[in-house]
Amino acid sequence: MQVLVHGGAGSDPEEPEPRQDVLEQAADAGAAESDPVDAVEAAVAVLESDPRFNAGVGSAVQSDGGIRTDAGLMTDDRSVGAACSMPGVEHALRVARVVMEETPHGFVAGDHAVSLADAYGVETGVDLWSERTREKWSDLEPPTGDSRAHLEWIRSRYGDSDPDGRDEDADPDSDPERPDSDLDHDTVGAVAFDGDSLAAATSTGGRWLALAGRVGDVPQVGSGFYCSPAAAVSATGAGEDIARVTLSRRVARHVERGCDADEATSLAIEEFGELTGSRAGVIAIDSDGTLGSAYNSDAMQTARADRR
């Protein structure tokens, strides 16, 4: 089993070494499995359970003080499952797998996705606040009122003018209303190949101080994740722009046209930057077992494991 994982694309993390250790553990956990779907689920679960990452218990907070998780999963036979906007769900990817394997649908959202999780034994009602997010939120004065008031409050905080969600000249440590260098990393993901089959998965807690209810690229097939007989892909970065260009599908298409995964990820990120001016990263593995990763942000930590 070959497994490649990422911890999100963004600015340089404050403590890269412990994050890298967890990524290595995640890759090893995935490689210990015998099936690619089990592999990506096992790998992502490790990252969802670590508050250093913006997924599961480390998730970002939306404008109403709520934490909502999203995830997507796909296999090379184009089976797909996605779930989004789930309060209290640490292992969002497990819910996406339930959608893929147990329902006739591809995507379930909100409270109904939480109810589905509960019905199939995925733990719900989990406290997703970390010490880091609780401290940052406590320094804010969140808005009251309707969605228009929330929008006015987040305009200078969500960071439309900068792909990483903050001004280039701003000191993130001096402004609690801007994401710190870890919250700036907005997804985790994994791809796996057992020599015959491929799987791709991505999970997230969204972006810091997004409008309540915002859903980014992660649970959108072809954007935050994609898998075909040619390649498995997981993306991370500026979610709205990733969705606009269906970044993960773009990587797989390059493989289908003759690139290997390494070439395809580099080409897709180059195109992404030219088309959007934003920052992102992708990881991929192709049907020949070639691994690829590329990013145009300051950093994207990855780890790989190969167990025959």
Alpha-carbon distance 98 to 71, whole Å? 11
List residues bridging with 233 in a β-sheet: 226, 284
Place of tokens 């959608």: 99
Secondary structure element (H or E) that encloses residue 149, with its range: helix 147-158
What local confidence, expressed as pLDDT, does residue 261 receive?
98
Alpha-carbon distance 206 to 296, whole Å? 20
Place of tokens 């190969």: 306
pTM of the model: 0.90
Answer whether 255's CB lies under 8 Å from 265's CB. no
Which residue is catalytic, options 69, 133, 187, 276? 187
Chain centroid offset of residue 230 CA = 21
Concatenated DSSP letters of 40-67: HHHHHHHHHT-TTSSSGGG----TTS--
Place of tokens 């919250």: 183
What local confidence, expressed as pLDDT, does residue 176 receive?
42
- Intervals of the chain under pLDDT 50: 159-183
Chain centroid offset of residue 214 CA = 14
Neighbouring residues of 274: CB distance < 8 A, sequence distance ≥ 6: none
Letter string b/e over residues 234-245, b meaning 16 or more CB atoms within 10 A of that residue's CB: bbbbbbbbbbeb
Alpha-carbon distance 275 to 139, whole Å? 36
Residue 204 among the catalytic residues: no
Reference 241, options 165, 169, 179, 151; nearest CA is 165
Alpha-carbon distance 272 to 277, whole Å? 7
Within a 10 A sphere around the Cβ of 126, how many other Cβ atoms? Answer: 17
What local confidence, expressed as pLDDT, does residue 158 receive?
62
What local confidence, expressed as pLDDT, does residue 137 receive?
84
What local confidence, expressed as pLDDT, does residue 214 receive?
92
Alpha-carbon distance 63 to 48, whole Å? 22
Answer whether 202's CB lies under 8 Å from 218's CB. yes
What are the pLDDT digits (tens) for 18-34? 999 999 999 999 999 99
